[in-house]
Amino acid sequence: MKKLIALSLVLSASPAFAATGPFFSLRNTDFVVLIAFLIFVGVLVYLKVPGKLMGMLDKRATGIKSELEEARALREEAQTLLASYERKQKEVQEQADRIVAAAKEEAKTAAEEAREDLKKSIARRIAAAEGQIASAEASAVKEVRDQAVTIAVQAARDVIAKQMTAAEGNKLIDDAISQVDAKLH
């Protein structure tokens, strides 16, 4: 019940019920509120609040504009730096590619030189081996000849010893001495 009484008091005190009588009367709350509002606006205009408000807004707009220009300048500087770094990165990449290409070329050249050196070394070793073989062959031929001469001399001695007498042997020795004497003088 108390709630019902409070609700009726609230509804009876509403602004719609307060505005009674003629509009241009101090008893009409709408008129009083209108006059108070006009006085408030007049005080604001007298104190130059709209001008100050506009000045603050202009100042804020100028600050925002300068910040935007600064941001734009920073963006342009960043783009310039980015382009510069991209250019440098391309140059470094090109230099690295050139270094890799040069290293590959040097490796190919070194491999070719190593092959040529190996071929020359093999040729020298083959020549040395052939020389050793020829020397061994000549040595073997000489040894065989020496052996053949020794055997032939032995065989001739045996044959001569069987067929020759002492008188013929002395005659042959005298002939050989005279031939040697003639050839030496």
Q: How many domains does the chain have?
A: 1
Whether 65 maps to a domain, the answer reads yes
Question: What mean pLDDT comes out for the span 35-56?
Answer: 93
Whether 83 maps to a domain, the answer reads yes
Are the C-beta atoms of 32 and 26 separated by less than 8 Å? yes
Q: Tell whether the model's pLDDT for residue 178 goes beyond 70.
A: yes
Give the list of residues 6+ apart from residue 20 with CB closer than 8 angstroms, or none. 27, 28
Whether 44 maps to a domain, the answer reads yes
| Whole-number pLDDT of residue 158 | 79
Whether 9 maps to a domain, the answer reads no
The pLDDT confidence band at residue 8, using thresholds 50, 70 and 90, is very low
Residues 29 and 15: their CA atoms lie apart, in Å, by 8
Instruction: Give SS3 for 164.
Output: coil
Residue 105's domain comprises 23-141
Residues 74 and 53: their CA atoms lie apart, in Å, by 31
Question: What mean pLDDT comes out for the span 114-143?
Answer: 91
Instruction: Give SS3 for 138.
Output: helix
Whether 74 maps to a domain, the answer reads yes
pTM, full prediction:
0.39
Whether 157 maps to a domain, the answer reads no
Q: pLDDT for 131-170, tens place per residue?
A: 999 898 888 888 888 888 888 888 877 777 777 777 777 8
Q: Tell whether the model's pLDDT for residue 4 goes beyond 50.
A: no
Whether 100 maps to a domain, the answer reads yes
